[in-house]
Structure 1
Amino acid sequence: MGMDDALLRRLTVPTATDHVLLDVDAVRQPLTGIGRYALMLARGLSAELDAEALQLLRGGHPVSLGQMERGLASGSAGRVARIAARLPFRPILRRAYLQWVGMQSRTLLARRAEQGYLLHTPNYLGLDYPGRTLITLHDLSYCHYPECHPPERVRWMNECLPSRIEQAVGLITDAESVRQEVIATYGVAPDKVTAIPLGVEPEFHPREAADLDPVLARYRLASGGYLLSVATLEPRKNLERLLDAHERLPVSLQSAWPLVLAGGRGWSNARLLERLQAAEASGRVRRLGYVAEDDLPALYAGARAFALPSLYEGFGLPLLEAMASGIPALASDRGSLPEVAGDGALLVDALDVTAMSVALERLLTDAPLRARLVAAARARAATYTWARCVSETRNAYRRCPW
């Protein structure tokens, strides 16, 4: 009596459930939030699993943790990753790139699938893998706010993601709110989706002004002398309304605490860039562009306050970093931000500029409120660790069916 192929495969693959392929294509400069997530998973999993149990893939090919980190430090992520980074986002180009990578690594992927490895794709869509896959879905903004994305990206996600979600044996989200959205939007069984919060690194903590000066001086900033927002310049971050709210503050407050924006150039932002250029001439707004990772902890800790009034976030890592840094924070009452903030941030309606301006003034000037928010924020931020994220991710791997 013969066995069917599925049963035979289960009897011949490794019995350990921690045999994982982790796609680290997103770990490249400039390092985005998803890139940081993949980086911290790679570091944490590498510390717990041996080279046989965990294999990192970049461009479909194996890469060691050391090679990945050296590439990140030097700004060189390898030939294949450099090609991908230069491609404009077009569905036909993205599909061609993934097909090319798949052809280059077909033998390796087929062998790993036969050996029972689980492929974890931490960035929505990735390699075409013949074995079991687990996908991290960071948010569904392309569904809820398609006008905030380039049309090509929305079309790509709508065309490709539903079938990948159906084929995957497991899904991860960064927040419970997004988990519920995935279940409702795609009709996914609740036990297939796990919410695993991100973490914050120990480098993000309160600092003395004297310790901040070497970094802040490079940006012509003074400790406690600015209102900070860390966000890509794109519509979903709601920066135009933040600019409106800041402009409604008394002139004395605008001058004392100019709005400082740190983040990449983004997309669909021609109107915002025009406004920022005019506002910068007044000295009440500053654009820093993309800030090096090593400078971010000092930039947070040196701010008078922090604001992230996004229309939607799947987690909101900058908010958590600000909370850990000991500065009072404002966030919108939408998406996952209330879930992350708890009682550690001042929440406002993302569409109400007047309410946002009033909240900013309180955040900058109300000493008892500031002290209460900082204490609550630091206590809450302490519960979000990358060690917890890695541990719960390993548990999610173990729950994936064969």
Structure 2
Amino acid sequence: MTPRTTLRIALLSYRGKPFCGGQGVYVRNLSRELAALGHSVEVISGPPYPVLDNGVRLTRLPSLDLFAEPNPFRTPALRELRALPDWLEFAAMRRGGFGEPLAFSLRALWHLARRRHEFDVVHDNQCLGYGLLGVRALGLPVIATVHHPIAIDAELSREAGGDQRWYRFVRMQHQVARRLPAVLTVSGAARDQITTRMDVPPERIGVTPLAADRATFRPRPDVDRVPGRIVAIASADEPLKGLDHLLRAMPMLRERGARLVVVGRLKEDGPTAKLVADLGLESTVDFVHGLTGDELAGLFASAEVACVPSVFEGFSLPAVEAMTCGTPLVATTAGALPEVVGDAALLVPPANPAVLAGALTTVLRDSATRARLAAASLARAESFSWRATAEKTVTRYRTLLDASAVPAEVA
């Protein structure tokens, strides 16, 4: 069997929000570089839809989008409940769950069933819904990216008394991942957690690190660093990101004139807003959201230090984006962060506000430390590129296709 030079790739993403969270960023950059390598890429996505570059086709699979602003948890009109995935999505919401991954996987199955001869490989971006097993039954090779096991988020949220609605699909994801022939992930730390928590054999997991978009994230000598500015990217009420520990560190930094800018939406009645008020940080912390990539890069360029205070990271795009901008970095030793940043950051143990405050103080008060970390960041960032990510991904595609072809040739 002669291998196909140009692959026809269906890249699935049940959500693709363009400028926040990793899904839309991953889909956009990977699809662009796969297309630049000469492959045919079609992104099949539910809402919110990703922004894609020229040469990549987008197919929209509408959902009920029941949690979207300005009317989250809405009751859909009867005319909207046209098919089984709609009913499953609605029923999951009413029962305190999150049905989008399952519903999207079934919509994708039905869509691909009509077009099964148009693709060589189906690549799922951490939907891991049961519909993927149906896609395999169609005879299509399936591979999935798991950025990290969502079971980690669920555990941390449960310990913090958070809403478990958003994690009730975890069991489904584990079952599907175990039955797929190949899985991609973004770091060795994430691979180890997928093996431990999802029971996927390590030999089935390929590591393809991520990168920053260098056309957007780059040093900007025309942008002045704002004295005392710390920038962090964190979903405000997500325990995984460790924002609460950074906030608890801020009172120790105020005497140096430090000011924190958090890229994330603050919920007025959420635990983060309460913590900001309890610590008296209203004049010390700003929250911004909805930034474009260019605006985020400009914000990194204006900071004296970027901070990643996470209690686990499967990779950390913000860390690499900050490094690519030449911004000094303070990060924790959680998950993949040491693997990703190397010697380009001051590393501290997670969940320790006092030690975190000490590291940030060191960077803010010492220009020589900032210069050293900025140079190390730029050097470290050179080891990551989306082209390399795409090339490694194609290698995994071809391994999957070779394995899928063996039974057919024997028969």
TM class by smaller structure: 0.7 to 0.9
User: Taking structure 1 as reference, are residues 91 and 308 closer, same or farther at Cα in structure 2, changes over 3 Å only?
Assistant: farther
Mean Cα deviation higher: 84-93 or 373-382 = 84-93
Residue in 1 aligned with 2:223?
A: 212
2: CA distance, partners of 1:33 / 1:113: 28
| Alpha-carbon shift at residue 318 of structure 1 (Å) | 0.5
Amino acid at match of 1:212: V
Residue 83 of structure 1 aligns to a residue in which SS?
Answer: coil
1:1-400 correspondence runs (5 A):
18-51=7-40, 54-59=41-46, 80=62, 83=65, 86=68, 92-93=92-93, 108-110=111-113, 112-113=115-116, 117-126=120-129, 127-128=131-132, 129=135, 130=137, 131-143=140-152, 146-148=155-157, 150-158=163-171, 160-202=172-214, 203-208=216-221, 211-212=222-223, 223-233=226-236, 234-249=238-253, 251-253=254-256, 255=257, 257-265=258-266, 270-277=270-277, 283-400=283-400
User: Taking structure 1 as reference, are residues 46 and 227 closer, same or farther at Cα in structure 2, changes over 3 Å only?
Assistant: same
Count of paired positions: 368
| Alpha-carbon shift at residue 187 of structure 1 (Å) | 3.3
User: Taking structure 1 as reference, are residues 323 and 31 closer, same or farther at Cα in structure 2, changes over 3 Å only?
Assistant: same
Residue 351 of structure 1 aligns to a residue in which SS?
Answer: coil
Ranges in structure 2 where 5+ consecutive residues have no aligned partner: 74-88, 405-411
2: CA distance, partners of 1:123 / 1:78: 17
User: Taking structure 1 as reference, are residues 201 and 67 closer, same or farther at Cα in structure 2, changes over 3 Å only?
Assistant: closer
CA deviation map 1:302-336 (0-9, x unaligned): 00111111111111110111111112111111111
User: Taking structure 1 as reference, are residues 144 and 329 closer, same or farther at Cα in structure 2, changes over 3 Å only?
Assistant: same
| Alpha-carbon shift at residue 106 of structure 1 (Å) | 5.1
Residue 323 of structure 1 aligns to a residue in which SS?
Answer: helix
Residue 125 of structure 1 aligns to a residue in which SS?
Answer: coil
CA deviation map 1:170-191 (0-9, x unaligned): 1011111111221233333322
User: Taking structure 1 as reference, are residues 91 and 182 closer, same or farther at Cα in structure 2, changes over 3 Å only?
Assistant: farther
Mean Cα deviation higher: 388-397 or 271-280 = 271-280
1: CA distance, partners of 2:310 / 2:298: 23
Ranges in structure 1 where 5+ consecutive residues have no aligned partner: 1-10, 72-76, 214-221
Residues 23 and 122 in structure 1, CA contact (< 8 A), matched pair in contact too = yes
Residues 14 and 116 in structure 1, CA contact (< 8 A), matched pair in contact too = no
Amino acid at match of 2:247: L
2: CA distance, partners of 1:153 / 1:68: 34
CA deviation map 1:330-384 (0-9, x unaligned): 1111111111110000111112221111111001112222222111111011111
Mean Cα deviation higher: 104-113 or 334-343 = 104-113
User: Taking structure 1 as reference, are residues 154 and 83 closer, same or farther at Cα in structure 2, changes over 3 Å only?
Assistant: closer
Mean Cα deviation higher: 174-183 or 92-101 = 92-101
User: Taking structure 1 as reference, are residues 374 and 356 closer, same or farther at Cα in structure 2, changes over 3 Å only?
Assistant: same
User: Taking structure 1 as reference, are residues 157 and 28 closer, same or farther at Cα in structure 2, changes over 3 Å only?
Assistant: same
| Alpha-carbon shift at residue 286 of structure 1 (Å) | 1.4
Residues 9 and 39 in structure 2, CA contact (< 8 A), matched pair in contact too = no
User: Taking structure 1 as reference, are residues 116 and 189 closer, same or farther at Cα in structure 2, changes over 3 Å only?
Assistant: farther
Residues 329 and 346 in structure 1, CA contact (< 8 A), matched pair in contact too = yes
2: CA distance, partners of 1:273 / 1:298: 26
Mean Cα deviation higher: 344-353 or 368-377 = 368-377
Amino acid at match of 1:362: T
1: CA distance, partners of 2:313 / 2:91: 24
User: Taking structure 1 as reference, are residues 116 and 70 closer, same or farther at Cα in structure 2, changes over 3 Å only?
Assistant: closer
User: Taking structure 1 as reference, are residues 303 and 69 closer, same or farther at Cα in structure 2, changes over 3 Å only?
Assistant: farther
| Alpha-carbon shift at residue 193 of structure 1 (Å) | 0.2
Residues 280 and 286 in structure 1, CA contact (< 8 A), matched pair in contact too = no
Residues 248 and 279 in structure 2, CA contact (< 8 A), matched pair in contact too = no
TM-score by length of 1: 0.80
User: Taking structure 1 as reference, are residues 31 and 359 closer, same or farther at Cα in structure 2, changes over 3 Å only?
Assistant: closer
Residues 46 and 65 in structure 1, CA contact (< 8 A), matched pair in contact too = no
| Alpha-carbon shift at residue 21 of structure 1 (Å) | 1.2
Residue 384 of structure 1 aligns to a residue in which SS?
Answer: coil
TM-score by length of 2: 0.78
Residues 134 and 168 in structure 1, CA contact (< 8 A), matched pair in contact too = yes
2: CA distance, partners of 1:296 / 1:30: 9
Residue 306 of structure 1 aligns to a residue in which SS?
Answer: strand
Residues 58 and 81 in structure 1, CA contact (< 8 A), matched pair in contact too = no
| Alpha-carbon shift at residue 289 of structure 1 (Å) | 2.9
Amino acid at match of 1:34: Q
Amino acid at match of 1:48: L
Residues 332 and 347 in structure 1, CA contact (< 8 A), matched pair in contact too = yes
